[in-house]
């Protein structure tokens, strides 16, 4: 539906207003600080590339395409090559497009544009080869190897402080990430008081994106690991569940360091680099592969709808062969064949 009257703001003014909205959402918990910073940076880049003095409503789909192409060709200072700076990766291009699209979606609702030009934009970026290996789900053997290494500390492994058993903490981190698939921001934000018991079942109240919360029951092994960790956690005024060896709340980068440290103890045959987000994919993939209800998996991960969940379901080696061997329309015939084979063997 078109607005009755368009507010012909410039690109610069629209971006400024949108950034104020984004910052307000980060203050109220509607957006994470990291996401807010990305949106603000991307739309500021959009303003420079599109022309700050142009009227936002005058931009067409072709204009947006030109900006997307200009961003794609823009050198990425974070990466370098022998011949100079590399251009933006496909992932960065896709992220930039999402940021710009979110701004125009708000612009259409606010009456800054009559029609959203993103609907006519055609430039898209594809991630070659799908997800990066670190973001893909681990296979069952790889995931079990990681969990096993976390729960069996190497001989002689000691913590840097006697009042903390960091190997117990590391095991809890790996178990929570692999079995519940929280966002890394949700994990480092967790406090001791967020875990409670109801009717003998231990729950984690997770404070997620958009100010939404979800209460997820812990598998028995994870609940036991939590109890063991809390028993070894030093008494401190710090509310954070996960503490560094200095007694401070863990940061996002610390979580990756924990995963890498545990991975180093995994049998090389079943070892593969993975990020916290890759473990989130692992949770979704194996729960769905085991026949868990899709809506239950959605609630565990904290997605608002099932369409988002589809992006977290990765392909597992051999899953098509297993599916065809146990096809639901042929199970009765297969059972009869097995009975016939058994009768023939008795003759």
Distance CA 259, CA 37 (A): 26
Active site residues: 183, 209, 277, 280, 303, 312
Distance CA 174, CA 160 (A): 19
C-alpha angle with apex 94: 297 to 1, nearest 5 degrees? 85
Structure tokens at 222: 């994870």
Give me the DSSP letters along 123-167.
-----TTSS-GGGSPPPHHHHHHHHHHHHSPPTT---SSTT--HH
Sort strands 201-207 and 195-198 into parallel, antiparallel or unpaired. antiparallel
Strands of 213-217's sheet in order across:
195-198, 201-207, 213-217
CA pair distance 278, 170, nearest whole angstrom: 17
Phi–psi pair at 114, nearest 5 degrees: -75, -45
* Cα 182 to Cα 204: distance, rounded to the nearest angstrom: 11
The DSSP output letter for 249 is B
């Amino acid at each position: 539906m078109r607005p009755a009257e368009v507010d012909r703001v410039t690109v610069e003014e629209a971006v400024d207003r949108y950034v104020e909205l984004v910052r307000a959402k980060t203050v109220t918990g509607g957006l994470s600080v990291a996401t807010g910073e990305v949106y603000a940076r991307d739309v500021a880049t959009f303003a420079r590339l599109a022309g700050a003095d142009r009227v936002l409503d005058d931009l067409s789909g072709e204009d947006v395409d030109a900006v997307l192409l200009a961003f794609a060709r823009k050198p990425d200072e974070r990466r370098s090559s022998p011949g100079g700076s590399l251009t933006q990766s496909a992932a960065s291009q896709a992220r930039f497009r999402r940021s710009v699209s979110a701004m125009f979606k708000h612009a259409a609702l606010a009456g800054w544009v009559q029609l959203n030009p993103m609907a006519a934009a055609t430039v898209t970026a594809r991630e070659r080869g799908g997800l990066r290996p670190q973001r893909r789900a681990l296979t069952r053997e790889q995931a079990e190897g990681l969990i096993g290494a976390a729960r069996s500390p190497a001989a002689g492994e000691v913590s840097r402080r006697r009042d903390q058993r960091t190997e117990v903490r590391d095991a809890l981190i790996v178990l929570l990430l692999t079995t519940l698939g929280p966002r890394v921001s949700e994990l480092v934000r967790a406090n001791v008081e967020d875990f409670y018991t109801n009717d003998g079942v231990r729950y984690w109240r997770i404070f997620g994106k958009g100010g939404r919360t979800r209460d997820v029951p812990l598998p028995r092994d994870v609940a036991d690991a939590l109890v063991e960790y809390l028993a070894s956690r030093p008494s401190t005024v710090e509310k954070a569940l996960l503490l560094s060896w200095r007694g401070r709340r863990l940061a996002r980068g610390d979580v990756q360091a924990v995963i890498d440290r545990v991975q180093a103890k995994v049998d090389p045959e079943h070892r593969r680099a993975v990020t916290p987000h890759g473990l989130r994919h692992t949770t979704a993939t194996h729960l769905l592969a085991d026949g868990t209800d899709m809506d239950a998996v959605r609630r565990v991960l904290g997605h608002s709808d099932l369409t988002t969940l589809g992006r977290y379901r990765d392909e597992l080696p051999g899953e098509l062969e297993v599916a065809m061997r146990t096809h639901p329309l042929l199970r009765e015939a297969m059972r009869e064949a097995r009975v016939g084979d058994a009768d023939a063997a008795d003759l």
